[in-house]
Amino acid sequence: MEALFGNAGVAKQLAEEALALSKGRDVQKMAAVALAFAGAGEETRTVADGLAKNYARDTLARFVFLPIIHAQVALTRKDSGKALEALRITQPYELTFGLYPLYVHGEAYLAASQGREAAADFQKLLKHRGAVGSEPVGALAHLGLARAYRLQGERARAIAAYKEFLTLWKDADPDIPILQQAKAECAKLQ
């Protein structure tokens, strides 16, 4: 969650602390995802390699977690094509793990400047609120949708989506990086 909200340093620290306490499969999965979203390339690769080696028969590791991790590392390196390729395998599983595969897919389309495709992924994510539960990607899908509309030149729809996101976050701490970015992006459109 910290990495998704733009607090990469905190996310990296928490992932490292978790790995120091346990090398269990679930800890490795979540730590690798956190490290990937935090942009910790080499550390992410080390944990992901161990996950792939030690849990080669784990369906979620192979078809959800590792593709998300590889895609996020590719996005950090500004390689949206590689990210989209890594996520191809997740399509049958996109409604698992709080819809993270779908969220990262939408983010990869944004990075590729494919607003229409990104919007479709974020809209699909928003239609499955029950599967999202309390995962942060549920709220962040509104921001992704706003950015997708902005890419498409749909100013009014973008502003509406930004406002939905900002309404959801109206009581959030004001110094959260993703919130500050969303406010700045919305202000530029108005």
CATH number at residue 107: 1.25.40.10
On the question of pLDDT at 96 being above 90, the answer is no
Q: Are 146 and 186 in contact (CB under 8 A)?
A: yes
Domain carrying residue 116: 8-189
Distances (CA, A) of 130 to 60, 92, 122, 154: 20, 18, 15, 28
133 domain-assigned: yes
Residue 178 lies in a domain: yes
User: What average pLDDT does range 2-17 have in this prediction?
Assistant: 96
Confirm whether 3 is domain-assigned.
no
- CA dist list (Å): 32 to 73, 101, 166, 188: 10, 14, 29, 35
Residue 2 falls inside a structural domain: no
Instruction: Report if residue 163 sits inside a domain.
Output: yes
Q: In the prediction, which pLDDT does 162 show?
A: 98
pLDDT digits 0-9 by tens, 132-186: 878 899 999 999 999 999 999 999 999 999 999 999 999 999 999 999 999 999 9
Averaged confidence pLDDT in the chain = 94
Query: Length of the chain in residues, anyone?
Result: 190
Domain total in the chain: 1
Q: Is residue 1 part of a domain?
A: no
Q: What pTM, to 2 d.p., does this model score?
A: 0.93
Mean pLDDT value of segment 108-126: 97
Contact in structure between 167 and 131 (CB atoms under 8 Å): no
